[in-house]
A = this chain, B = another copy of it.
Amino acid sequence: MMSTIEEKCKEKGVRLTDQRKVIAKILSESKEVYGSKDHPDVDELHKRVTKIDDKISIATVYRTVKLFEEAGILIKHDFKAGKARYEINDDHNHLIDINSGEIVEFVDKDIEALQVKIANKLGYKLVDHKLELYGLKIKK
């Protein structure tokens, strides 16, 4: 069956090559297989992708990931610098454990509303936002 990403590519007129199908599949499965803290970088994606087709180059992964980002399918994160990491765009925030690097996703309506309010007060219409919390696990 066709992944959501493939459908979105059709909508946007993005040509569907074999390589892109494989990358789309890997991205779509990311959360199911690796859990919600999965935000793979390009290298990791390339590793997973070459298990299905080992002819796919890392340049293609870079190009595809950028293409998907421009199409609004993926979002790119630059958590505390280093290499960029990707996930399917579904608008949530991240809490990063500064010890383990583990990522917890969350959404909060109140914070969302406040952000819109603040932007308006400053004379802007909010079009995007990034909220990252960095924390230490509280031991029980």
A-to-B contact residues, CB < 8 Å: 76, 78, 80-81, 84, 95, 97-98, 104, 106, 108, 110-111, 114-115, 118-120, 122-138
Copies in the complex: 2
A-B contacts besides A122-B135, A127-B135, A130-B132, 5 pairs, CB < 8 Å: A115-B133, A120-B138, A124-B133, A124-B136, A129-B132
Q: Which residue of B is nearest A115, CB measured?
A: B133
**Bound-complex Cα distance A125 to B132 (A):** 14
**Bound-complex Cα distance A78 to B120 (A):** 24
Q: Which residue of B is nearest A131, CB measured?
A: B131
Given known A-B contacts A76-B81, A111-B111, A131-B131, A106 and B122 have beta carbons under 8 A apart: yes
Instruction: Please pick, from B81, B111, B115, B138, the residue contacting A118 in the complex, using a CB distance under 8 A.
Output: B111
Q: Which residues of B contact A76 (CB under 8 A)?
A: 81
